Chain A
């Protein structure tokens, strides 16, 4: 073979845009003249920067195509060895093109559009992308053999010495923690048929099914429909692809019940054809009855030394640059041919003005195919039975300068003698793998046709079909026919009349599409199988030699296929290598398990628009107007206290003081509300709660305590008997949903004549509490007699307050004369306003949850969930009085009786500390004499009324009033508290019963 050495530096690489007058104006030195480039608009220039340098691009360019147009081929540095990397696929399928944007790392440069003003950087380098100081690692490959991480991190000393360094060097890109929040959301879609892939097969399938009446969604990953018709060459003249593309798109757009979604990625398959489709910042959750996967195939690289150099790319990548973006991929090219598609590539290159130096044909005879014939007609130099044994960088440049071509002597072997061919582009066309991910996620199995050296997919689930090159059809006529038949089958399955079954030609073009062994291991390595992880042929071979002879083990040991491209370009070569090294067939070796997602997806897309329901009481806006600091209670917002945050302690103390000495008003709308109605209402209450309710008089309230079947306290509240067959029940804010579910469950089992209705949201409620509360109500006006005789403690009345229909309860959670007033929630704000107005003369003051906590603690009233835990029995919290001994049954009764036979070792006690003491935190622990944990605090507060710090704590059961309790604070300091009965203020309850 004659040498075709260049006598000048590699053109295009040396020439900068500054040296090419007018080049910038037309979008770069390598830009072909209009109308070249299906996706770009020659009349719409945009500007962007890469590595701080400004470039011109055209609307429709990706970052990678724009840089290529400007003669910039170095896009990134490889993960481990920091080797220069550039365009490989131009399909958004490989990690070579990962770049950094201001707010987002790891962006695919060959998929992301250039926008005006976009700032782009390379990533994974030290210094500059061009002169990465870490490129020295390329020379230390021998010290980082396969499985390096597994070995290295097994040694503790290594961890300490080198782990920080490796952690610093590992990873790609930088996360901008100050990146602005994007708007993401999700939407549901429903279709009869989803077709994934808008190439010739997908278009034909979608049109056929839509014509039959199916509602069809066609999902295309790229910005334009057409698939390979948009960039590949299907005939010697080079016009067939684009013509068929236009015809098929026109047919698709004419279908009213066919929805076309471009720039959309079907990123996985889930049971029953539940498909996540990502388009922009939206995740569509698509339900479909039928699914056709026409996802095409992924062209594969050959393996030889230096196969990762910028300038070495897939044949389809060169064609994409030319036909989609109007970019000349090089000045002088060599084509590595393992199939006839390579000749189409060569023809396209020449048509784009690229000098085709030679075609290196792996086969001994390419056969009589029309493309090969056309190449011969054009006089291309075709060197059969040869391989590329090495791609060599141009002197001083991170780009291909020449290749060394050798004669093949057997599968994967070659003569050591070689010829040098100078070129700045090597286009490889040696075979494909089907884009099998979705099909395999759905349960399909991969087999290998040894004769065609090709993967095939079998055993698809019901309702899924394949069409096109994913199904090993490469001849265009066969591809379209397969699409028509798949669409017809889907329509039939949907019960639609789609006419007669379309025929599919026997010849599908799969034979010869894959060269059986395009792997040429080099004695000096750098023959990459996995570009993402910098894995060479010897790494896979050595992994097998280490004993990892199953592909899943090879994957985990070597990390092959675990990078961003997820084995798209390494699975076939790895399977072939493992098969060879283990003496099995490729079919027996298989590929690793395919799992969603198909491609990387952002957390924003997964999160979507975050729906965080919240509940507001009817008085919420009044609280805000009155300066409340709000806090959450479950989904509810409640006022914590009223006034500036910085005066918190003082404000809470004043609110407590107002309740104790005058009158306060708190919004208790968040309390759960339940209506229990029916002839068996009393029986139902009696079975559900621990106390007795059958004899509860109408017009009276009674305390409620609920235990579960284990005898554990789970809720409390008040039962108001409004009539013989009607109880209005309150439950805790956080517990009402559980209580309601329990009620429905037990009601379904007991089959009593009872109706349970949740009315929490139906009633707004306030607690008007304090010695002057009765006066406030009298000022307001009502049809209810509020005298102590007519409306005693624990009485319940219905009537009107300030003209508003209301239910009133005399209860004493805060230990003062008080009235809970419940009104239909639409009237809540009016009630709040009326009470504050009527209470002005009594110096009424709104109070929040924090003051209420102090007030109830002074009374020793427990809060379920704060002063109880998942084991608390009524006895432990001094609630035996609320457990009936006479009832035949209530939920939890048997467990309480059983647990009483083994008395608890703890109980809830009160404690006091001097008023000047620090207030311990809830969950601070108690210590015994040995310094071991003896209990813990559940509530604590500084009390003006008690002139002390008071609290509740679980302490040893034998604790007596006056005993000393040692509290360990969070900072380790210890306090000595005095145990006491948990009723600190007005223990005889005289104030609330006024």
Chain B
């Protein structure tokens, strides 16, 4: 097999942690670190997964929401809310006319490239502008019952489940970095997507793992996340 063309921004950290990788798109994704049972237990307690190899894209500007709705997407009713699409993709509404669209955790659903191609074919007016979110932002997922306690050490927003609803978004500072946090519980397990500067992914991964130590959390692979979602 040829070496993957794409690298996740925190891949070196995952290699150090003994991740097992599988090809995904034109790169590879960390699918596991330990046996499935242990890793799923970690994911339910406090897990950190790198979903950066999965697809994502953004659109912003006048007409964005209408155009995406015309493509069959469910647009969240208000900024700082997210909507799960029928195919598992997640549409995060970051502003009145700004959407951050992530791939489904299963890897299924329309690929971002197809949506961008559709944008290119569309009429110029009233469609907004695509944003290269695949490369501007790393995509991490923090899972487990202690996830809000971890964020309490890194972020000044009250993310406790009773105060931060499922599919709610906070655009805030995390470990002195700008980032987007979106809660999306997986099969009843508390989980938060974290989207932040890709160039700082290495740093942020380290901060998150450091903060997890007291809760006995650790890295988990895509398979553990997918298992949570199916639970």
Contacts and interface: CB of A to CB of B under 8 A. Distances in A.
Contacts of A763: 135
A274 to B, nearest CB: 11
A830 B5 contact: yes
A614 interface: yes
Contacts of A617: 199
A830 B199 contact: no
Interface stretch (A328-336, A519-527, A819-827): A819-827
Interface in A752-787: 755, 757-763
Interface stretch (A180-188, A203-211, A494-502, A567-575): A180-188
B200 A804 contact: no
Contacts of A285: 156
A762 B132 contact: yes
Interface in A431-456: none
B155 interface: yes
16 contacts: A185-B153, A190-B158, A615-B197, A635-B200, A669-B199, A755-B60, A761-B197, A761-B199, A762-B134, A825-B9, A825-B199, A826-B6, A826-B8, A826-B134, A826-B135, A828-B7
Contact of A611 (B176, B198, B202): B176
A677 B129 contact: yes
B129 A615 contact: no
Interface in A281-303: 285, 287
Q: Which of A188, A615, A617, A761 has the most CB of B within 10 A?
A: A761
A408 B69 CA distance: 91
Contacts of B175: 611, 613
A636 interface: yes
Nearest to A828: B7
Given A613-B176, A826-B6, 13 more contacts: A185-B153, A187-B152, A611-B176, A612-B176, A614-B202, A678-B129, A755-B61, A757-B129, A759-B135, A762-B135, A824-B134, A830-B4, A830-B7
Interface string A602-623: 0000000101111111101100
A760 B137 CA distance: 11
Contacts of B203: 613-616
B27 interface: yes
A759 B163 CA distance: 33
Contacts of A189: 152
Interface in B126-144: 128-129, 131-132, 134-137
A803 B153 contact: no
A552 interface: no
A186 B7 contact: no
Contacts of A669: 199
Contact of A618 (B7, B158, B160): B7
A616 B6 contact: no
A188 B152 contact: yes
A52 to B, nearest CB: 36
B136 A762 contact: yes
Interface string A815-857: 0000000001111111001000000000000000000000000
A474 to B, nearest CB: 38
B231 interface: no
Judged by DSSP, the binding face of A is mixed
Contacts of B165: none
Interface in B187-231: 197-200, 202-204, 207, 210-211
B3 interface: yes
A188 B155 contact: yes
B132 A824 contact: yes
Nearest to B131: A757
Contacts of A620: 202
B36 interface: no
B177 interface: yes
B165 to A, nearest CB: 15
Q: Which of A190, A613, A620, A758 has the most CB of B within 10 A?
A: A613
Contacts of B152: 187-189
B207 A611 contact: yes
A615 B129 CA distance: 26
A188 B199 contact: no
Contacts of B78: none
Interface residues of B, number: 41
Contacts of A675: 129
Given A186-B153, A190-B163, A613-B177, A761 B210 contact: no
B149 to A, nearest CB: 8
Contacts of B137: 761
Nearest to B157: A188
B200 A614 contact: yes
A188 B141 CA distance: 21
Interface residues of A, number: 43
A621 B7 CA distance: 11
Given A614-B203, A755-B61, A830-B5, A825 B129 contact: no
Contacts of A611: 154, 175-176, 207
A824 B131 CA distance: 12
A187 B7 contact: no
Interface in A664-688: 669, 675, 677-678
B12 interface: yes
B153 A615 contact: no
Given A190-B160, A829-B7, A757 B60 contact: yes
A793 B129 CA distance: 30
B135 A761 contact: yes
A506 B210 CA distance: 54
Shortest beta-carbon contacts, A-B, top 10? A615-B199, A762-B135, A826-B6, A611-B176, A762-B132, A190-B158, A762-B136, A761-B199, A824-B135, A830-B5
Contacts of B158: 188, 190, 287
Nearest to A608: B153
B129 A827 contact: no
Q: Which of B5, B9, B129, B131 has the most CB of A within 10 A?
A: B5
Contacts of A618: 7, 9
Nearest to B156: A188
B121 to A, nearest CB: 15
A443 to B, nearest CB: 24
B177 A761 contact: no
A617 B175 CA distance: 19
B153 A187 contact: yes
Contacts of A827: 5-6
B156 A616 contact: no
Contact of B129 (A755, A803, A824): A755
Contacts of B207: 611
Contact of B200 (A190, A615, A830): A615
A613 B175 CA distance: 8
Q: Which of B5, B12, B199 has the most CB of A within 10 A?
A: B199
Interface string B140-180: 00000000000011111110100100000000000111000
Contact of B132 (A185, A677, A759): A759
Contact of B3 (A614, A677, A757, A830): A830
A755 B203 CA distance: 30
Contacts of B7: 618, 826, 828-830
Given A187-B153, A615-B200, A803-B5, A609 B210 contact: yes
A189 B152 CA distance: 7
Contacts of A635: 200
Contacts of B211: 185
Interface string B48-82: 00000000000011000000000000000000000
Interface string B82-93: 000000000000
Contact of A825 (B157, B176, B198): B198
A613 B60 contact: no
Contacts of A186: 153
Nearest to B199: A615
Given A190-B163, A621-B12, A804 B153 contact: no
A614 B176 CA distance: 10
A803 B60 CA distance: 29
A828 B135 CA distance: 10
Contacts of A833: 3
Contacts of A803: 5
